[in-house]
Amino acid sequence: MKNSLIKTIVVLLLSAAIFATYNKKSSSKIIINYSPKETEVIEIQPKETEKLKTFNISTKIPEFLTYPQTVEQIKKWKEEASEIVQVEKYGKTKKGTDLYYIRVNSDEKKVKPKVLITACIHGNEPLASGIVMAYIGNLLEQYNKNREITDLVNTRDLYFVPVVSPDSYPDSRMVDGVDPNRDFSSPKFPNHQSSPSVAALIDLYWKVRPSAVISGHTFGRLILTPYGDRYDKSFHEKDYTRIVGKMSEMTGYKRIHAAELYSRPIQGTEVDWFYRNGSMAVVIEFGTHQHKPSFSDILNEFNKTKDAISLFINEASIVPFTVADEEIDFSKNTGIAHTYRKPANEELTPASHH
């Protein structure tokens, strides 16, 4: 009786310890010596482990798509990865074309830094849309397969607008008779009224309140930082130097202030407007041309830039913003928010890299 009780206790204790440490891929055989003459072999079977959710993404990197095809594709991704994808309308163009965004978020209940990534505010720059679509497809296909991508999706709330100006896509820079990247309010023109496509994007911005913004353009392999309407350096020059400096090293893209690219100050640019409203904002000028891209154009430039895009999402989205006197005065004139973004959670850190 005593031996039987001892055996039972030993087996229970060893089983508990072994279940915490065994190799889950195969069973474990444990030899227990109760006495020099009494030995028992116990075989412990592994428990079934819960598999991480992955998605069967039929098109990871799309070829060039028309605007209707682009909408069809993001809706297809919504079907294939409905647990982490939303697709919504956010407005209409002057011609009545529906405007769409796609959101990638693994857990809406968690407070996360928000990031907005757009392309083709200039409709005749379709490679930019191709890169953004490739980035989305890769995120979805690699989720819970690639650790860095999984970390990024789990720690950020990502909004994408693959085509900002569908009425001019993919042939024209102008929309409704104006250059849409000169169609935002600015200190010089604080009461400027934007055309419908840009106004809808502004409304989406206020709905999302992103911590960081990337606007995809072509071409020149450049990364533009504020300001575009003045030669002065921005209040976050050190952060831009650090983050965009890394991006430049990773891609070979040149970092340049927007006004330097234009060779003169230009009013009403998106990079200035996003920045003045509390977002770390950059323009990425993808590639080397403005033609309809081949699949190899999209694939090659995506591979060249995808890690740098992830780095910006990861690091720029947690840069704290403070209020500057000039910005306060500007906000009084234009309705720009007086309360600038600060991290919602002071413990937010970049997604881990492995």
Say which range, 45-49, 63-67, 288-292, has the weakest mean pLDDT. Answer: 45-49
Instruction: Check residues 9 and 284 and name the one with the higher pLDDT.
Output: 284
* Identity of the residue numbered 134: A
Give 311's contacts (C-beta < 8 A, 6+ positions apart). Answer: 243, 246, 247, 250
Whether the pLDDT of residue 73 is over 90: the answer is: yes
| Mean per-residue pLDDT of the chain | 85
Whether the pLDDT of residue 353 is over 80: the answer is: no
pTM of the model: 0.81
Q: Are 322 and 236 in contact (CB under 8 A)?
A: no
CA 36 to chain centre: 64
* Alpha-carbon distances of 207 from 44, 113, 114, 116, 134, rounded to whole Å: 54, 14, 11, 11, 25
Whether the pLDDT of residue 50 is over 80: the answer is: no
Q: Are 91 and 196 in contact (CB under 8 A)?
A: yes
d(CA 222, CA 293): 18
**Which contacts of 34-41 are long-range, i.e. CB under 8 A and separated by 24 or more positions?**
34/3, 34/6, 34/7, 34/10, 38/3, 40/7, 40/11
Angle subtended at Cα 18 by Cα 17 and Cα 22, rounded to the nearest 5 degrees: 140
Which of the four pLDDT bands, split at 50, 70 and 90, describes residue 36?
very low
pLDDT on residue 3: 56
Whether the pLDDT of residue 4 is over 90: the answer is: no
Whether the pLDDT of residue 142 is over 90: the answer is: yes
Mean pLDDT of 238-257: 98
d(CA 30, CA 259): 72
Mean pLDDT of 278-290: 97
pLDDT on residue 339: 37
d(CA 272, CA 28): 62
Say which range, 227-231, 263-267, 333-337, has the weakest mean pLDDT. Answer: 333-337
Mean pLDDT of 158-164: 99
Instruction: Check residues 254 and 1 and name the one with the higher pLDDT.
Output: 254
Residue 215 corresponds to which tokens in the numbers above?
């606007």
pLDDT on residue 175: 96
Angle subtended at Cα 109 by Cα 108 and Cα 112, rounded to the nearest 5 degrees: 70
Percent of the chain with pLDDT over 70: 77
Mean pLDDT of 203-219: 97
Whether the pLDDT of residue 328 is over 80: the answer is: no
pLDDT on residue 321: 82
ω into residue 312 within 30 of 0, thus cis? no
pLDDT on residue 206: 94
Q: Are 267 and 145 in contact (CB under 8 A)?
A: no
57-71, 179-193, 316-330, range with greatest mean pLDDT: 57-71
pLDDT on residue 7: 56
Whether the pLDDT of residue 222 is over 70: the answer is: yes
Over residues 88-101, the pLDDT tens digits come to 999 999 999 999 99
Residue 313 corresponds to which tokens in the numbers above?
């999402």
Q: Are 120 and 163 in contact (CB under 8 A)?
A: yes
- Beta partners for 100? 89
Whether the pLDDT of residue 288 is over 80: the answer is: yes
Any alpha helices (H) in 81-195, and if so which ranges? 126-142, 147-155
Angle subtended at Cα 36 by Cα 35 and Cα 40, rounded to the nearest 5 degrees: 60
* Alpha-carbon distances of 253 from 176, 224, 256, 258, 296, rounded to whole Å: 32, 10, 10, 14, 19
Mean pLDDT of 247-272: 96
Domains in the chain with CATH codes? 2-44 (no CATH), 67-334 (3.40.630.10)
d(CA 80, CA 60): 11
Q: Are 271 and 230 in contact (CB under 8 A)?
A: no
